[in-house]
A and B are shown apart, each in its own frame.
Chain A
Amino acid sequence: MDADLRAPRIASKASLRWDAVRQKPILLYPEGVLILNPSAEAILSLCDGRRPVSEIVSELASRYGGDPVALETDVWNFLQELLDRGLLLCPDPKEK
């Protein structure tokens, strides 16, 4: 399976927001909250359920530069953590 064709989106139980008190982006979900750093926010705001991971990576690479291969690993590590916890959904396009 070519994982990069899958287009992740934020699960309905989680929400990406701006915390006005702390002046930071956050991801809120039933059991807690993630306080995001700028790169985590950039990744999550691209997870709209339409862009495949490969496109997210190239978008980030064009915005911030850097080695796309290393970037892809970082993005996947971050996404996988959220996928494991059900905060992100990543349907397999072949199942559609």
Chain B
Amino acid sequence: MPSTHAASTRLEKDAGKQPRALDLGFPFSLLCEVTFRCPLQCPYCSNPLGFAHALRDELDTAEWIRVLEEAAGLGVLQAHFSGGEPLLRKDLPEMIAAAHRFGLYANLSTGGTLLTSDLAHRLKEAGLGGFQLSIQDSRPESAEWAAGMRGSFAKKGEAARMARDAGLTLGINVVLHRQNLDRIEEIIALAESWGAERLELANSQYNGWALHNRRWLLPTRAQVERASEVASLAQERLRGKMEILFVIPDYYAAYPKACLHGWGRAFLTVSADGMVLPCQAAREITSLSFPNVREENLRDIWFHSAAFRRFRGTDWLPEPCQSCPRKEIDFGGCRCQAFLLTGDAGATDPACLLSPHHHRIEEALAEAETRETVSWSYRNPTESKRLSGVPCHPSAPSRAEPEPTP
């Protein structure tokens, strides 16, 4: 399950006391979206809205192994296997073994519903390091409602157990939003009882599906403030036992996040169909065309492709960023968000207080303070086909019928 794990991968240049290491120009981390198929239908899924058009042409085993080898040669140290649901790929252990052989630290992000004990052991033997399980909520009813799959909650609990029994390091990942934020204590307690070493509480990032479903997902300020207090108390209480990461929603922050440590600087994503992206959400930037591993090798793509060079560094930045002291910290924020909210991928991220488009964020926040019934869409191929091609706007009505709040 791809959510915000790539964005949360930290490159700790300070602790390593080599502050220039990032500037050597090689990528650190590769996100492998091995498939867009998924048994779940989370309405905040980070896959592109139009994923249904890329369901067929999946890279095969040999192509993925070549990608991993090229990535290792390019300086990549971490390979994150994600999707869709990566466990749908029968060759996943083989791909992980290849990553391991090339010296990459292999991580898996999964919804967990397809895990078996045998598979968990095979993944461990293949050299898998981190096992990251996504959950939707603390209670079966609300979790299965958000996932759009009955029976998924118990299966996830089983997956957590099987992963730990196989000796994998268990991390749990939850996307936080309006509908589950008030149960944050329960979510933390659940992660503890399932034996997670690390819990990532990632507030939804409003690109793609989450932007389409924003009205349903965007929390109130009071919800966010309370949750962040709960999270920081839990961080203290569980120090040394379970690491808790709480990602502040950028809509409620004054300045944007340094998305992926800068465009084309540390991360790259290879999608199910071979498209290479600086960020998993970037496929939605229709004003850029992205290279494909089927046509070029990763090194040429990383160093020479127009798409990767377009927003690298800080020279391209517009005002107010160009004369802002924070430009080396956040690089003007998220390019995908800039494109989706302003139509210009080169604009200052509207999440920034200083952006001339910041009113777009304020309007959404004002709306979030009001109560009303809203329609929203599950992430599935039918909705994907219906929604892609037509301009996406969060207030566009949806045909997916929401079930009543449990």
**CB of A28 closer than 8 Å to a CB of B:** yes
Chain A, Cβ-Cβ closest to B27: A21
Q: Are A13 and B24 in contact (CB under 8 A)?
A: no
A9 to chain B, nearest CB (A): 16
Q: Are A21 and B75 in contact (CB under 8 A)?
A: yes
A85 contact set on B, CB distance < 8 A: 243
**CB of B28 closer than 8 Å to a CB of A:** yes
A42 to chain B, nearest CB (A): 13
Q: Are B75 and A86 in contact (CB under 8 A)?
A: no
Q: State A26–B243 Cα separation when bound (angstroms).
A: 22
Q: Are B8 and A28 in contact (CB under 8 A)?
A: no
A19 contact set on B, CB distance < 8 A: 75, 77
**CB of B240 closer than 8 Å to a CB of A:** yes
**CB of B370 closer than 8 Å to a CB of A:** no
Q: Are B107 and A30 in contact (CB under 8 A)?
A: yes
Q: Are B73 and A21 in contact (CB under 8 A)?
A: yes
**CB of B366 closer than 8 Å to a CB of A:** no
B10 contact set on A, CB distance < 8 A: 31-32
Q: Are B9 and A22 in contact (CB under 8 A)?
A: no
Q: State A81–B77 Cα separation when bound (angstroms).
A: 22
B117 to chain A, nearest CB (A): 20
Q: Are B12 and A33 in contact (CB under 8 A)?
A: yes
Total B residues in contact with A, Cβ cutoff 8 Å: 32
B74 contact set on A, CB distance < 8 A: 21
B239 contact set on A, CB distance < 8 A: 84
**Among residues 19 to 38 in chain A, which have CB atoms less than 8 Å away from a CB atom of chain B?**
19, 21-22, 24, 26, 28-37
Total A residues in contact with B, Cβ cutoff 8 Å: 24
Contact among A15, A26, A30, A37 for B17, CB-based, below 8 A: A37
Q: State A31–B10 Cα separation when bound (angstroms).
A: 6
Q: State A9–B193 Cα separation when bound (angstroms).
A: 27
Chain B, Cβ-Cβ closest to A17: B103
Q: Are B103 and A32 in contact (CB under 8 A)?
A: no
B302 to chain A, nearest CB (A): 12
A86 to chain B, nearest CB (A): 6
**CB of A71 closer than 8 Å to a CB of B:** no
Given contacts A81-B15, A84-B240, contact A32 B78 (CB under 8 A): yes
Cross-chain pair count, CB within 8 angstroms: 73
Contact among B18, B107, B243 for A35, CB-based, below 8 A: B18
B interface footprint on A78-91 (CB within 8 Å = 1, 0 otherwise)? 00010111100000
Q: State A51–B9 Cα separation when bound (angstroms).
A: 31
B interface footprint on A29-71 (CB within 8 Å = 1, 0 otherwise)? 1111111110010000000000000000000000000000000
A interface footprint on B9-30 (CB within 8 Å = 1, 0 otherwise)? 1111101111001001010100
Contact among A13, A17, A37, A84 for B130, CB-based, below 8 A: A13
A26 contact set on B, CB distance < 8 A: 16, 77
Interface centre among B15, B74, B77, B198 (most CB of A within 10 A): B15
Q: Are B15 and A34 in contact (CB under 8 A)?
A: yes
A interface footprint on B247-290 (CB within 8 Å = 1, 0 otherwise)? 00000000000000000000000000000000000000000000
Given contacts A21-B74, A28-B77, contact A40 B16 (CB under 8 A): yes
B202 to chain A, nearest CB (A): 12
B400 to chain A, nearest CB (A): 34
In the complex, besides A15-B105, A36-B16, 5 extra interface pairs with C-beta distance below 8 angstroms are: A13-B129, A30-B130, A31-B130, A40-B16, A83-B240
User: What 10 pairs across the A-B complex have the smallest Cβ distances?
Assistant: A30-B130, A35-B16, A21-B75, A32-B10, A35-B21, A13-B169, A34-B16, A28-B105, A37-B17, A35-B18
Interface residues of B (CB under 8 A from A): 8-13, 15-18, 21, 24, 26, 28, 73-75, 77-78, 103, 105, 107, 129-130, 132, 169, 171, 197-198, 239-240, 243
User: Can you name 14 A-B pairs with beta carbons within 8 Å?
Assistant: A19-B75, A21-B74, A26-B77, A29-B105, A30-B132, A31-B9, A31-B198, A32-B11, A33-B28, A33-B77, A34-B12, A34-B15, A35-B21, A86-B197
